[in-house]
Amino acid sequence: MTPQERIYSDFQNSGLTIGHHPMSFYRDDLRKAGVLDSAEAKRKPDGAVIRVAGCLITRQRPGTAKGFVFLSLEDETGIVNIVINPDLFDRQKIACVAAPYVQVKGVVQNTWNVISIKAGDVQSLALGSETIRSHDFH
Protein backbone atom coordinates (compact mmCIF):
# COMPACT_ATOMS: atom_id res chain seq x y z
CA MET A 1 0.00 0.00 0.00
CA THR A 2 1.04 3.56 -0.56
CA PRO A 3 1.12 5.79 2.54
CA GLN A 4 -2.10 7.47 1.42
CA GLU A 5 -3.81 4.09 0.89
CA ARG A 6 -2.74 3.01 4.37
CA ILE A 7 -4.17 6.15 5.93
CA TYR A 8 -7.42 5.71 4.02
CA SER A 9 -7.65 2.12 5.21
CA ASP A 10 -6.90 3.18 8.80
CA PHE A 11 -9.64 5.82 8.77
CA GLN A 12 -12.17 3.51 7.12
CA ASN A 13 -11.55 0.71 9.60
CA SER A 14 -10.86 2.47 12.86
CA GLY A 15 -11.50 6.19 12.38
CA LEU A 16 -7.87 7.08 13.18
CA THR A 17 -4.30 6.45 12.11
CA ILE A 18 -0.91 6.33 13.76
CA GLY A 19 0.65 7.24 10.42
CA HIS A 20 1.18 10.63 8.86
CA HIS A 21 -1.59 13.19 9.00
CA PRO A 22 -3.36 13.38 5.62
CA MET A 23 -2.52 17.09 5.26
CA SER A 24 1.22 16.34 5.40
CA PHE A 25 1.08 14.83 1.90
CA TYR A 26 -0.20 18.13 0.46
CA ARG A 27 1.75 20.63 2.57
CA ASP A 28 4.45 21.44 0.01
CA ASP A 29 1.89 22.41 -2.64
CA LEU A 30 -0.21 24.32 -0.10
CA ARG A 31 2.83 26.19 1.16
CA LYS A 32 3.77 27.15 -2.43
CA ALA A 33 0.23 28.54 -2.78
CA GLY A 34 0.68 30.69 0.34
CA VAL A 35 -1.41 28.51 2.66
CA LEU A 36 -0.12 28.41 6.25
CA ASP A 37 -0.25 25.46 8.60
CA SER A 38 -2.02 25.93 11.93
CA ALA A 39 1.21 26.48 13.88
CA GLU A 40 2.27 29.28 11.50
CA ALA A 41 -1.23 30.79 11.60
CA LYS A 42 -1.14 31.02 15.40
CA ARG A 43 2.07 33.06 15.23
CA LYS A 44 0.57 35.73 12.97
CA PRO A 45 -0.45 39.05 14.54
CA ASP A 46 -4.00 40.10 15.25
CA GLY A 47 -5.54 41.49 12.07
CA ALA A 48 -3.30 39.63 9.62
CA VAL A 49 -5.04 38.26 6.53
CA ILE A 50 -4.01 34.64 5.99
CA ARG A 51 -5.02 31.37 4.34
CA VAL A 52 -5.15 28.03 6.15
CA ALA A 53 -6.32 24.58 5.13
CA GLY A 54 -7.15 21.39 6.94
CA CYS A 55 -9.48 18.55 7.74
CA LEU A 56 -12.76 19.68 9.23
CA ILE A 57 -12.92 17.85 12.54
CA THR A 58 -15.69 19.82 14.27
CA ARG A 59 -18.61 21.89 13.07
CA GLN A 60 -20.70 23.79 15.62
CA ARG A 61 -23.66 26.14 15.33
CA PRO A 62 -24.79 26.96 18.87
CA GLY A 63 -28.30 28.32 19.22
CA THR A 64 -26.91 31.18 21.30
CA ALA A 65 -24.39 32.29 18.63
CA LYS A 66 -26.82 34.30 16.45
CA GLY A 67 -26.21 32.08 13.41
CA PHE A 68 -22.42 32.05 13.61
CA VAL A 69 -20.75 28.73 12.81
CA PHE A 70 -17.52 27.52 14.36
CA LEU A 71 -15.22 25.09 12.58
CA SER A 72 -12.11 23.32 13.83
CA LEU A 73 -9.51 22.59 11.16
CA GLU A 74 -6.82 20.05 11.87
CA ASP A 75 -3.54 19.64 10.05
CA GLU A 76 -0.21 17.99 10.80
CA THR A 77 0.77 20.77 13.23
CA GLY A 78 -2.43 21.18 15.24
CA ILE A 79 -5.87 22.74 15.19
CA VAL A 80 -7.03 26.20 14.21
CA ASN A 81 -10.48 27.59 15.01
CA ILE A 82 -12.54 29.26 12.30
CA VAL A 83 -15.45 31.68 12.84
CA ILE A 84 -18.01 31.89 10.02
CA ASN A 85 -20.62 34.65 9.93
CA PRO A 86 -24.18 33.68 8.92
CA ASP A 87 -23.99 35.30 5.46
CA LEU A 88 -20.80 33.47 4.53
CA PHE A 89 -22.25 30.22 5.84
CA ASP A 90 -25.29 30.67 3.61
CA ARG A 91 -23.08 31.34 0.56
CA GLN A 92 -20.61 28.50 1.25
CA LYS A 93 -22.91 26.02 2.98
CA ILE A 94 -21.75 22.96 1.02
CA ALA A 95 -18.10 23.57 1.89
CA CYS A 96 -18.96 24.30 5.53
CA VAL A 97 -21.27 21.32 5.99
CA ALA A 98 -20.08 18.55 3.67
CA ALA A 99 -16.43 19.01 2.67
CA PRO A 100 -13.88 16.91 4.53
CA TYR A 101 -11.10 19.40 3.65
CA VAL A 102 -11.38 23.16 3.27
CA GLN A 103 -9.23 26.19 2.64
CA VAL A 104 -10.11 29.35 4.52
CA LYS A 105 -9.01 32.91 3.88
CA GLY A 106 -9.60 35.21 6.81
CA VAL A 107 -8.40 37.59 9.47
CA VAL A 108 -6.48 36.46 12.55
CA GLN A 109 -8.26 37.30 15.79
CA ASN A 110 -6.15 37.16 18.93
CA THR A 111 -8.31 37.73 21.98
CA TRP A 112 -6.57 37.07 25.31
CA ASN A 113 -4.15 34.72 23.51
CA VAL A 114 -7.01 32.68 22.03
CA ILE A 115 -6.39 32.53 18.29
CA SER A 116 -9.13 32.13 15.71
CA ILE A 117 -9.60 33.04 12.08
CA LYS A 118 -12.62 35.11 11.09
CA ALA A 119 -13.39 33.66 7.68
CA GLY A 120 -13.90 35.82 4.63
CA ASP A 121 -13.94 32.86 2.24
CA VAL A 122 -14.30 29.08 2.59
CA GLN A 123 -13.59 26.70 -0.28
CA SER A 124 -13.73 22.91 -0.50
CA LEU A 125 -10.40 21.24 -1.19
CA ALA A 126 -10.28 18.18 -3.40
CA LEU A 127 -7.47 16.25 -1.79
CA GLY A 128 -7.08 12.52 -1.30
CA SER A 129 -9.71 10.01 -0.34
CA GLU A 130 -8.40 9.67 3.21
CA THR A 131 -10.76 11.55 5.51
CA ILE A 132 -11.12 12.13 9.21
CA ARG A 133 -14.63 11.80 10.57
CA SER A 134 -15.86 15.09 11.94
CA HIS A 135 -18.04 15.79 14.95
CA ASP A 136 -20.87 17.80 13.52
CA PHE A 137 -23.94 19.79 14.41
CA HIS A 138 -25.93 18.25 11.52
* pLDDT number for residue 40: 96
* Helix/strand/coil for 67: coil
- CA 68, 71, 74: angle at the middle one, nearest 5? 165
The reported pTM is 0.84
Share of the chain above pLDDT 90, in %: 61
Domains within the chain, CATH numbers bracketed:
3-124 (2.40.50.140)
* pLDDT number for residue 134: 60
Q: How much is the average pLDDT of 111-115?
A: 87
Residue 130 has pLDDT above 60, yes or no: no
Q: Are 100 and 136 in contact (CB under 8 A)?
A: no
